[in-house]
């Protein structure tokens, strides 16, 4: 680097451009500075991105285009965010460097989402024309949904999801951070809902004065009975004082030992029979809500049968074609205005009047025959059917291994896109733990 002369002013020093050594250093270490996770797999905060509202948030990582699987810890490990929860998550992604020069996929999952025990948030974002929109959504969409749930907790969660997608799309346009980039999105939220009998609270409020009068009468009667019993006990004490005094130490010793033993046994039984922090009652329902734009899919395995919980918003779909034409656009060479293959996405601000961010949403009650969920970008679905994906991983207990199997399969089948696969494994034992 050329040295400035001693007589040079500060103004000239500020104009001096960095030398080759500085540029080379930044090039060598830029991947380390931008890498999403540290060596333990915990998320690293990136400058300019909003922090998550939950410490269990985990984002995707990619190292030099090689396959990377998320959630390397077992669910029973103290490091796993899913310890003692009724679900587990595994993620695998690959840049597919043979066909792609950059990785534009982003994924996010949050354990105990919205600060509710045993809730989960799972999302995959497949970027196009750059990664800016996908990265922003991966860092912010769950926060937007979180805020919407807090302010509108009584509405159907599908409405919250729709509002969150629309709000995210608006913010991306206003912030002008995405450029011409956009992303497809597949989001799933797992939560417990408790059924409350209608009018229960009103009836309780109406009967309260009557109950108070009845309680007073019962209390007076109980007081009289207690006085009679106390007088009888005093008489019996006078007769058997010596025998009672002699036996009391033995009785107290035995009872203390039995209490300690029973408490130890109950703790052992509870730890074995209740492996979950949240124990549902018979009034609780396990609900799964989904939302998607674009061609990223969400597949539920129910007794080994693939159930699609998303909709492919593609320019080849006749309903989407009609919507595009009605909005003033055209379908040219199976692309919206000859540019985009998907008809719905977040971002893509330059053609927002045509490529909207309104999601397709679903609501599904889960039961003991619902085994796992697959979220994946089109890098998998271009070469694999829904049922083939379910069949390949149904017998695999570890969701990390299952996601890796599907990712490798897509690469083997010569997919030409980035590949990201997330598998959410449901622990159906939680239904047997229901409390009365």
User: Can you give the residue range of the structural domain that contains 52?
Assistant: 41-195+283-312+361-433
Strand partners, 7: none
Residue 98 resides in a domain: yes
Q: Tokens for 403?
A: 């996601």
Model confidence at 231, pLDDT cuts 50, 70, 90, reads low
Which residue in the block uniquely carries the two structure tokens 């285009």?
65
> What is the distance of C-alpha 337 from the center of its chain?
35
Q: Are residue 82 and residue 145 in the same domain, yes or no? A: yes
Please tell me the number of Cα atoms within 13 Å of 86 on its side-chain side: 26
Residue 267 resides in a domain: yes
Q: Is 391:363 a contact under the CB 8 Å cutoff?
A: no
- Number of helices (H), then strands (E), belonging to the chain: the values are 11, 15
Domain end marker among 273, 299, 325: 273
| pLDDT tens for each residue of 120-179 | 999 999 999 889 999 999 999 999 999 999 998 889 999 999 999 999 999 998 887 767
Starting at the edge strand found earlier in the chain, the sheet holding 419-426 runs 68-70, 87-94, 419-426, 370-376, 297-302, 305-308
Q: Is 17:4 a contact under the CB 8 Å cutoff?
A: no
Residue 35 resides in a domain: no
Residue 148 resides in a domain: yes
Q: Are residue 371 and residue 416 in the same domain, yes or no? A: yes
Reduce the DSSP state of residue 212 to 3 states and report it: helix
| pLDDT tens for each residue of 64-78 | 344 555 655 555 455
Q: Are residue 220 and residue 307 in the same domain, yes or no? A: no
Q: Are residue 147 and residue 187 in the same domain, yes or no? A: yes
Q: Are residue 244 and residue 152 in the same domain, yes or no? A: no
Q: Are residue 52 and residue 190 in the same domain, yes or no? A: yes
Model confidence at 243, pLDDT cuts 50, 70, 90, reads very low
| Positions of E strands within 97-226 | 105-111, 120-128, 182-194
**Helix or strand holding residue 21 (H, E):** helix 20-34
Residue 343 resides in a domain: no
Residue 36 resides in a domain: no
Amino acid 200: pLDDT? 55
Residue 125 resides in a domain: yes
Residue 392, classified by CB atoms within 10 Å of its CB into exposed (0-12), middle (13-18) or buried (19+), is middle
Reduce the DSSP state of residue 283 to 3 states and report it: coil
Domain end marker among 223, 252, 273: 273
Domain end marker among 225, 254, 273: 273
Q: Centre a 10 Å sphere on the Cβ of residue 332 and count the other Cβ atoms it contains.
A: 11
d(CA 206, CA 195): 22
Q: Are residue 299 and residue 427 in the same domain, yes or no? A: yes
CATH classification at residue 98: 3.60.40.10
Q: Are residue 218 and residue 188 in the same domain, yes or no? A: no
Residue 356 resides in a domain: no
Q: Which of 298, 118, 290 is nearest to 189 (CA)?
A: 290
Reduce the DSSP state of residue 42 to 3 states and report it: coil
Strand partners, 420: 93
Residues in the chain: 436
Q: What angle do CA 82, 84, 86 make, to 5 degrees?
A: 75
Query: What's the domain count of the chain?
Result: 2
d(CA 14, CA 431): 67
Q: Are residue 288 and residue 267 in the same domain, yes or no? A: no
Q: Are residue 134 and residue 254 in the same domain, yes or no? A: no
Reduce the DSSP state of residue 371 to 3 states and report it: strand
| pLDDT tens for each residue of 188-229 | 999 999 887 666 544 544 444 444 444 444 455 555 555 555
Q: Are residue 296 and residue 418 in the same domain, yes or no? A: yes
Reduce the DSSP state of residue 128 to 3 states and report it: strand
d(CA 321, CA 355): 11
Strand partners, 194: 284
Model confidence at 184, pLDDT cuts 50, 70, 90, reads very high
Amino acid 223: pLDDT? 58
Reduce the DSSP state of residue 421 to 3 states and report it: strand
DSSP letter assigned to residue 184: E
Q: Are residue 185 and residue 206 in the same domain, yes or no? A: no
């Amino acid at each position: 680097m050329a040295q400035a002369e001693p007589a040079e002013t500060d103004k000239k020093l500020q104009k001096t451009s960095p030398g080759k050594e500085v540029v080379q250093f930044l090039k060598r270490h830029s991947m380390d500075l931008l890498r999403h996770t540290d060596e333990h797999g915990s998320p690293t905060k990136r400058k300019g991105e909003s922090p998550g509202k939950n410490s269990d948030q985990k984002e995707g990582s990619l190292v030099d285009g090689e396959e990377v699987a998320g959630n390397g810890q077992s669910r029973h490990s103290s490091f796993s965010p899913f310890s003692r929860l009724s679900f587990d998550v595994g993620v695998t992604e690959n840049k597919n460097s043979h066909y792609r020069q950059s990785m534009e996929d982003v994924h996010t999952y949050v354990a105990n989402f919205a600060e509710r025990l045993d809730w989960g948030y799972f999302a995959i974002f497949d970027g196009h024309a750059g990664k800016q929109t996908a990265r922003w959504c991966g860092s912010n969409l769950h926060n937007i949904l979180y805020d919407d749930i807090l302010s509108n907790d009584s509405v159907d969660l599908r409405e919250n999801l729709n509002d969150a997608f629309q709000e995210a799309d608006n913010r991306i346009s206003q912030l002008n951070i995405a450029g011409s980039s956009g992303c497809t999105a597949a989001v799933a939220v797992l939560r417990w809902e408790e059924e409350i009998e209608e009018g229960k609270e009103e009836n309780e409020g109406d009967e309260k004065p009557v109950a108070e009068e009845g309680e007073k009468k019962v209390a007076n009667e109980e007081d009289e009975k207690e006085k009679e019993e106390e007088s009888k006990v005093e008489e019996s004490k006078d007769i058997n004082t010596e025998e009672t005094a002699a036996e009391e130490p033995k009785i107290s010793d035995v009872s203390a030992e039995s209490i300690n033993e029973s408490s130890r046994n109950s703790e052992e039984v509870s730890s074995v029979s209740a492996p979950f922090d949240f124990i549902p009652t018979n009034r609780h329902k396990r609900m799964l809500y989904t939302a998607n734009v674009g061609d990223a899919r969400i597949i539920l395995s129910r007794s080994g049968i693939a159930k699609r919980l998303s909709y492919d918003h593609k320019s080849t779909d006749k309903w989407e074609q009609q919507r595009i034409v009605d909005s003033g656009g055209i379908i040219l060479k199976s692309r919206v205005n000859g540019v985009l293959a998907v008809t719905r996405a977040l971002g893509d601000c330059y053609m927002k009047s045509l490529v909207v961010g309104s999601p397709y949403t679903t609501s599904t009650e889960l039961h003991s025959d619902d085994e796992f969920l697959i979220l994946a970008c089109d890098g998998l679905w271009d070469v694999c059917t829904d049922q083939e994906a379910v069949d390949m991983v149904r017998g695999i207990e570890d969701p990390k291994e299952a996601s890796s199997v599907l990712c490798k399969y897509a690469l083997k089948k010569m997919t030409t896109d980035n590949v990201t696969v997330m598998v959410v494994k449901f622990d159906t034992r939680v239904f047997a733990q229901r409390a009365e």
